[in-house]
Amino acid sequence: MELHNINELLDKYFDGKTTLAEEKQLKAYFSSDDVAPELAQFKPLFGYYTIEQKSETQKIFKLNKKSNKQWLWAAATVVIMIGIGLTVLQKNPNQPEQLGTFDNPEIAYQEAQKAFQLIAENLNKGKQNIKYLEEFENSKNRIFQP
Amino acid sequence: MSSKEFLELILPIKQKIFRLSKRLLTSTEEAEDATQEILIKAWNKNTKLKSYNSIEAMMMTMTKNYCLDRLKSKQASNLRIVHTNYTNRENLEKQTEDRDNLSWVEKIVSELPEAQKMIIQLREIEELEFEEIAQIMQMSETNVRVTLSRARKTIKEKMSKISNYGIA
Protein backbone atom coordinates (compact mmCIF):
# COMPACT_ATOMS: atom_id res chain seq x y z
CA MET A 1 0.00 0.00 0.00
CA GLU A 2 1.17 3.54 -0.70
CA LEU A 3 2.76 5.50 2.09
CA HIS A 4 0.35 8.43 2.04
CA ASN A 5 -2.55 6.00 2.34
CA ILE A 6 -0.96 4.52 5.40
CA ASN A 7 -0.35 7.96 6.88
CA GLU A 8 -3.98 8.87 6.27
CA LEU A 9 -5.13 5.64 7.86
CA LEU A 10 -2.85 6.23 10.83
CA ASP A 11 -4.33 9.70 11.39
CA LYS A 12 -7.81 8.23 11.29
CA TYR A 13 -6.64 5.44 13.58
CA PHE A 14 -5.38 7.80 16.26
CA ASP A 15 -8.66 9.74 16.09
CA GLY A 16 -10.56 6.51 16.75
CA LYS A 17 -12.27 6.71 13.35
CA THR A 18 -10.96 3.63 11.53
CA THR A 19 -13.16 0.61 10.89
CA LEU A 20 -12.12 -2.88 11.91
CA ALA A 21 -11.22 -3.65 8.28
CA GLU A 22 -8.95 -0.61 8.09
CA GLU A 23 -7.30 -1.57 11.34
CA LYS A 24 -6.64 -5.02 9.92
CA GLN A 25 -4.97 -3.32 6.93
CA LEU A 26 -2.73 -1.41 9.32
CA LYS A 27 -1.86 -4.57 11.22
CA ALA A 28 -1.03 -6.31 7.96
CA TYR A 29 1.11 -3.40 6.75
CA PHE A 30 3.11 -3.20 9.96
CA SER A 31 3.69 -6.92 10.06
CA SER A 32 5.21 -6.81 6.56
CA ASP A 33 8.93 -6.36 5.96
CA ASP A 34 8.79 -3.12 3.97
CA VAL A 35 7.60 -0.64 6.56
CA ALA A 36 8.71 2.93 5.78
CA PRO A 37 11.59 3.88 8.13
CA GLU A 38 9.73 6.94 9.47
CA LEU A 39 6.88 4.66 10.54
CA ALA A 40 9.05 1.89 11.95
CA GLN A 41 8.34 3.12 15.49
CA PHE A 42 4.78 1.76 15.19
CA LYS A 43 5.88 -1.71 14.18
CA PRO A 44 6.07 -3.09 17.75
CA LEU A 45 2.67 -1.54 18.55
CA PHE A 46 0.73 -3.48 15.94
CA GLY A 47 3.02 -6.46 16.38
CA TYR A 48 2.21 -6.58 20.07
CA TYR A 49 -1.55 -6.60 19.43
CA THR A 50 -1.22 -9.41 16.90
CA ILE A 51 0.78 -11.52 19.32
CA GLU A 52 -1.56 -10.85 22.24
CA GLN A 53 -4.47 -12.25 20.20
CA LYS A 54 -2.83 -15.65 20.56
CA SER A 55 -2.48 -15.49 24.32
CA GLU A 56 -4.54 -18.36 25.76
CA THR A 57 -4.97 -20.24 28.99
CA GLN A 58 -4.66 -24.01 29.09
CA LYS A 59 -6.41 -24.31 32.40
CA ILE A 60 -9.42 -26.60 32.56
CA PHE A 61 -12.35 -24.81 34.14
CA LYS A 62 -15.09 -26.44 36.18
CA LEU A 63 -18.64 -25.37 36.75
CA ASN A 64 -19.31 -27.00 40.10
CA LYS A 65 -18.18 -25.15 43.10
CA LYS A 66 -17.48 -26.38 46.63
CA SER A 67 -19.24 -23.45 48.22
CA ASN A 68 -22.63 -24.63 46.89
CA LYS A 69 -22.46 -27.48 49.39
CA GLN A 70 -21.19 -25.14 52.08
CA TRP A 71 -24.32 -23.06 51.58
CA LEU A 72 -26.46 -26.15 52.04
CA TRP A 73 -24.70 -26.92 55.32
CA ALA A 74 -25.12 -23.35 56.49
CA ALA A 75 -28.82 -23.43 55.64
CA ALA A 76 -29.28 -26.77 57.45
CA THR A 77 -27.51 -25.40 60.54
CA VAL A 78 -29.75 -22.35 60.61
CA VAL A 79 -32.86 -24.53 60.40
CA ILE A 80 -31.66 -26.77 63.26
CA MET A 81 -30.79 -23.76 65.41
CA ILE A 82 -34.23 -22.25 64.88
CA GLY A 83 -35.78 -25.62 65.77
CA ILE A 84 -33.84 -25.85 69.02
CA GLY A 85 -34.57 -22.22 69.82
CA LEU A 86 -38.30 -22.67 69.35
CA THR A 87 -38.41 -25.79 71.54
CA VAL A 88 -36.52 -24.06 74.34
CA LEU A 89 -38.71 -20.96 74.14
CA GLN A 90 -41.89 -23.01 74.24
CA LYS A 91 -40.81 -24.98 77.31
CA ASN A 92 -39.66 -22.02 79.37
CA PRO A 93 -42.98 -20.34 80.27
CA ASN A 94 -44.16 -23.53 81.99
CA GLN A 95 -41.36 -23.67 84.56
CA PRO A 96 -39.93 -20.19 84.95
CA GLU A 97 -39.10 -20.66 88.67
CA GLN A 98 -36.47 -23.31 87.86
CA LEU A 99 -34.16 -20.84 86.13
CA GLY A 100 -30.86 -20.78 88.03
CA THR A 101 -32.23 -20.85 91.56
CA PHE A 102 -30.68 -22.77 94.45
CA ASP A 103 -32.23 -23.60 97.78
CA ASN A 104 -28.90 -24.10 99.50
CA PRO A 105 -26.77 -20.93 99.61
CA GLU A 106 -23.59 -23.04 99.86
CA ILE A 107 -24.30 -24.76 96.51
CA ALA A 108 -25.32 -21.46 94.98
CA TYR A 109 -21.99 -19.99 96.07
CA GLN A 110 -20.06 -22.91 94.56
CA GLU A 111 -21.97 -22.70 91.30
CA ALA A 112 -21.32 -18.97 91.08
CA GLN A 113 -17.61 -19.61 91.72
CA LYS A 114 -17.58 -22.17 88.92
CA ALA A 115 -19.18 -19.73 86.52
CA PHE A 116 -16.69 -16.97 87.43
CA GLN A 117 -13.83 -19.43 87.08
CA LEU A 118 -15.01 -20.31 83.57
CA ILE A 119 -15.19 -16.66 82.57
CA ALA A 120 -11.76 -15.96 84.08
CA GLU A 121 -10.18 -18.89 82.23
CA ASN A 122 -11.52 -17.70 78.92
CA LEU A 123 -10.42 -14.16 79.63
CA ASN A 124 -6.90 -15.46 80.29
CA LYS A 125 -6.95 -17.39 77.04
CA GLY A 126 -7.72 -14.14 75.26
CA LYS A 127 -4.99 -12.36 77.17
CA GLN A 128 -2.33 -14.81 76.02
CA ASN A 129 -2.36 -13.24 72.61
CA ILE A 130 -1.48 -9.89 74.10
CA LYS A 131 1.88 -11.35 75.13
CA TYR A 132 3.09 -10.95 71.58
CA LEU A 133 2.76 -7.22 72.06
CA GLU A 134 5.35 -7.38 74.82
CA GLU A 135 7.85 -8.65 72.27
CA PHE A 136 7.12 -5.55 70.24
CA GLU A 137 7.69 -3.40 73.29
CA ASN A 138 11.06 -5.13 73.90
CA SER A 139 12.22 -4.48 70.35
CA LYS A 140 11.02 -0.92 70.54
CA ASN A 141 12.96 -0.36 73.75
CA ARG A 142 16.07 -1.81 72.14
CA ILE A 143 15.88 0.69 69.31
CA PHE A 144 14.65 3.76 71.17
CA GLN A 145 16.39 3.31 74.46
CA PRO A 146 14.16 4.75 77.20
CA MET B 1 -28.64 -26.40 28.82
CA SER B 2 -26.34 -29.07 30.23
CA SER B 3 -22.99 -28.11 31.70
CA LYS B 4 -21.24 -29.78 28.76
CA GLU B 5 -23.23 -27.78 26.21
CA PHE B 6 -22.54 -24.63 28.16
CA LEU B 7 -18.79 -25.25 28.27
CA GLU B 8 -18.73 -25.87 24.51
CA LEU B 9 -20.74 -22.75 23.82
CA ILE B 10 -18.43 -20.54 25.84
CA LEU B 11 -15.22 -22.15 24.57
CA PRO B 12 -14.16 -19.11 22.51
CA ILE B 13 -15.47 -16.64 25.10
CA LYS B 14 -13.42 -18.09 27.92
CA GLN B 15 -10.15 -17.09 26.24
CA LYS B 16 -11.48 -13.55 25.78
CA ILE B 17 -12.41 -13.46 29.44
CA PHE B 18 -8.95 -14.72 30.35
CA ARG B 19 -7.21 -12.11 28.17
CA LEU B 20 -9.30 -9.22 29.50
CA SER B 21 -8.71 -10.39 33.09
CA LYS B 22 -5.01 -10.68 32.43
CA ARG B 23 -4.92 -7.18 30.96
CA LEU B 24 -6.46 -5.83 34.14
CA LEU B 25 -5.00 -8.10 36.82
CA THR B 26 -1.57 -8.59 35.16
CA SER B 27 -0.86 -12.02 36.65
CA THR B 28 -1.78 -15.19 34.78
CA GLU B 29 -2.88 -17.01 37.94
CA GLU B 30 -5.15 -14.15 39.00
CA ALA B 31 -6.62 -14.05 35.50
CA GLU B 32 -7.28 -17.80 35.53
CA ASP B 33 -8.99 -17.56 38.91
CA ALA B 34 -11.09 -14.68 37.62
CA THR B 35 -12.08 -16.68 34.53
CA GLN B 36 -13.13 -19.60 36.72
CA GLU B 37 -15.28 -17.29 38.86
CA ILE B 38 -16.94 -15.68 35.85
CA LEU B 39 -17.75 -19.08 34.29
CA ILE B 40 -19.44 -20.24 37.49
CA LYS B 41 -21.35 -16.98 37.84
CA ALA B 42 -22.56 -17.19 34.24
CA TRP B 43 -23.46 -20.87 34.63
CA ASN B 44 -25.58 -20.03 37.68
CA LYS B 45 -27.44 -17.49 35.54
CA ASN B 46 -27.89 -20.25 32.96
CA THR B 47 -31.65 -19.84 32.49
CA LYS B 48 -31.30 -16.22 31.52
CA LEU B 49 -28.79 -16.89 28.75
CA LYS B 50 -30.35 -16.61 25.32
CA SER B 51 -28.35 -15.80 22.20
CA TYR B 52 -24.61 -16.29 21.87
CA ASN B 53 -23.99 -12.56 21.38
CA SER B 54 -25.81 -11.61 24.52
CA ILE B 55 -23.90 -14.28 26.46
CA GLU B 56 -20.62 -12.92 25.23
CA ALA B 57 -21.44 -9.32 26.07
CA MET B 58 -22.86 -10.28 29.44
CA MET B 59 -19.85 -12.38 30.39
CA MET B 60 -17.43 -9.69 29.28
CA THR B 61 -19.29 -7.11 31.38
CA MET B 62 -19.14 -9.52 34.31
CA THR B 63 -15.40 -9.88 33.73
CA LYS B 64 -14.94 -6.13 33.69
CA ASN B 65 -16.86 -5.65 36.93
CA TYR B 66 -15.25 -8.62 38.65
CA CYS B 67 -11.71 -7.52 37.80
CA LEU B 68 -12.34 -3.93 38.83
CA ASP B 69 -13.62 -5.24 42.18
CA ARG B 70 -10.53 -7.38 42.54
CA LEU B 71 -8.33 -4.40 41.84
CA LYS B 72 -10.15 -2.41 44.47
CA SER B 73 -9.58 -5.02 47.14
CA LYS B 74 -6.29 -4.57 48.94
CA GLN B 75 -4.97 -8.02 48.14
CA ALA B 76 -5.19 -7.51 44.42
CA SER B 77 -3.60 -4.09 44.52
CA ASN B 78 -0.62 -5.58 46.33
CA LEU B 79 -0.34 -8.15 43.58
CA ARG B 80 -0.53 -5.47 40.96
CA ILE B 81 2.32 -3.55 42.50
CA VAL B 82 4.46 -6.68 42.49
CA HIS B 83 3.70 -7.45 38.90
CA THR B 84 4.23 -4.01 37.44
CA ASN B 85 7.70 -3.99 38.89
CA TYR B 86 8.99 -6.08 36.02
CA THR B 87 10.58 -3.20 34.14
CA ASN B 88 13.09 -1.73 36.52
CA ARG B 89 15.48 1.08 35.80
CA GLU B 90 18.49 -1.14 35.30
CA ASN B 91 17.28 -2.76 32.12
CA LEU B 92 15.56 0.38 30.87
CA GLU B 93 18.53 1.43 28.81
CA LYS B 94 19.03 -1.99 27.33
CA GLN B 95 15.39 -2.15 26.29
CA THR B 96 15.48 1.29 24.76
CA GLU B 97 18.17 0.20 22.38
CA ASP B 98 15.96 -2.59 21.16
CA ARG B 99 13.03 -0.64 19.78
CA ASP B 100 11.35 -3.74 18.45
CA ASN B 101 10.92 -4.97 21.97
CA LEU B 102 7.21 -5.62 22.43
CA SER B 103 7.37 -5.47 26.19
CA TRP B 104 7.55 -1.70 25.89
CA VAL B 105 4.10 -1.64 24.36
CA GLU B 106 2.89 -3.93 27.12
CA LYS B 107 4.31 -1.61 29.75
CA ILE B 108 2.79 1.50 28.14
CA VAL B 109 -0.63 -0.17 27.91
CA SER B 110 -0.36 -1.30 31.53
CA GLU B 111 0.10 2.31 32.59
CA LEU B 112 -3.16 3.45 31.00
CA PRO B 113 -6.26 4.07 33.14
CA GLU B 114 -8.46 0.96 33.52
CA ALA B 115 -11.18 2.03 31.08
CA GLN B 116 -8.65 2.83 28.34
CA LYS B 117 -6.87 -0.46 28.99
CA MET B 118 -10.10 -2.41 28.58
CA ILE B 119 -11.13 -0.62 25.41
CA ILE B 120 -7.67 -1.14 23.89
CA GLN B 121 -7.99 -4.83 24.76
CA LEU B 122 -11.47 -5.17 23.25
CA ARG B 123 -10.70 -3.24 20.10
CA GLU B 124 -7.06 -3.96 19.22
CA ILE B 125 -6.85 -7.53 20.43
CA GLU B 126 -10.41 -8.90 20.39
CA GLU B 127 -11.29 -6.76 17.33
CA LEU B 128 -14.84 -6.05 18.44
CA GLU B 129 -17.17 -3.49 16.84
CA PHE B 130 -17.79 -0.23 18.69
CA GLU B 131 -21.37 -1.30 19.29
CA GLU B 132 -20.24 -4.45 21.11
CA ILE B 133 -17.61 -2.59 23.12
CA ALA B 134 -20.20 0.01 24.14
CA GLN B 135 -22.48 -2.79 25.34
CA ILE B 136 -19.72 -4.48 27.33
CA MET B 137 -18.39 -1.26 28.83
CA GLN B 138 -21.90 0.10 29.44
CA MET B 139 -20.89 3.37 27.79
CA SER B 140 -22.09 5.19 24.67
CA GLU B 141 -20.38 4.45 21.35
CA THR B 142 -19.14 8.03 21.14
CA ASN B 143 -17.62 7.68 24.55
CA VAL B 144 -15.90 4.45 23.50
CA ARG B 145 -14.42 6.19 20.44
CA VAL B 146 -13.19 9.14 22.48
CA THR B 147 -11.62 6.91 25.12
CA LEU B 148 -10.02 4.71 22.47
CA SER B 149 -8.60 7.70 20.63
CA ARG B 150 -7.21 9.09 23.87
CA ALA B 151 -5.56 5.76 24.67
CA ARG B 152 -4.09 5.40 21.18
CA LYS B 153 -2.68 8.91 21.30
CA THR B 154 -1.12 8.36 24.72
CA ILE B 155 0.50 5.15 23.49
CA LYS B 156 1.75 6.95 20.37
CA GLU B 157 3.26 9.80 22.40
CA LYS B 158 5.03 7.47 24.78
CA MET B 159 6.31 5.33 21.95
CA SER B 160 7.76 8.25 20.04
CA LYS B 161 9.41 9.47 23.23
CA ILE B 162 11.09 6.09 23.58
CA SER B 163 12.06 5.99 19.94
CA ASN B 164 13.51 9.54 20.07
CA TYR B 165 15.42 8.70 23.19
CA GLY B 166 16.74 5.64 21.48
CA ILE B 167 18.02 7.69 18.52
CA ALA B 168 19.59 10.45 20.64
Is A81 part of any domain? no
Mutation target among B5, B127, B137 for the A interface, most CBs of A within 10 A: B127
Per-residue pLDDT of chain A (146 residues; tens, 9 = 90+): 678 889 999 999 999 999 999 999 999 999 998 899 888 888 889 999 999 999 999 888 888 765 556 778 888 999 999 999 988 888 765 555 556 677 888 888 998 999 999 999 988 888 777 777 788 888 888 888 76
pTM: 0.65
Q: Do A63 and B127 touch (CB under 8 A)?
A: no
Question: Does some domain include residue A140?
Answer: yes
In a domain, A68, yes or no: no
Structure ipTM: 0.79
DSSP labels, chain B: --HHHHHHHTHHHHHHHHHHHHHHH--HHHHHHHHHHHHHHHHHTGGG--SHHHHHHHHHHHHHHHHHHHHHSHHHHHHHHHHGGGS-GGGHHHHHH-TT-THHHHHHHHTS-HHHHHHHIIIIIS---HHHHHHHHTS-HHHHHHHHHHHHHHHHHHHHHHHHHHH-
Using the Cβ of B155 and the Cβ atoms of chain A, whether some distance falls under 8 Å is answered with yes
pLDDT in tens, B88-106: 444 555 444 444 578 889 9
> Are B152 and A16 an interchain contact pair (Cβ–Cβ within 8 Å)?
yes
Whether the CB-CB separation of B97 and B166 falls below 8 Å is answered with yes
Buried b (16+ CB within 10 A) or exposed e, B126-138: bebebebbbbbbe
Domain boundaries, chain B: 1-86, 91-168
CATH, range B91-168: 1.10.10.10
CATH fold of the domain at B1-86: Rna Polymerase Sigma Factor; Chain: A (1.10.1740)
CB contact (8 A) between residue B99 and residue A44: yes
Q: How far is A130 from chain B (nearest CA, A)?
A: 26
Interface of A with B (CB under 8 A): 13-17, 20, 23-24, 40-45, 47-49, 51-53, 55-57, 59, 61-65
Q: Which of A17-21, B118-122, B161-165 has the lowest mean pLDDT?
A: B161-165
Phi-psi region of B138 (alpha: psi -120 to 50; beta: other; left: phi over 0): left
| Residue A135 structural domain | 100-146
Q: Which amino acid type is present at position A51?
A: I
Residue A124 CA to chain centroid, in angstroms? 32
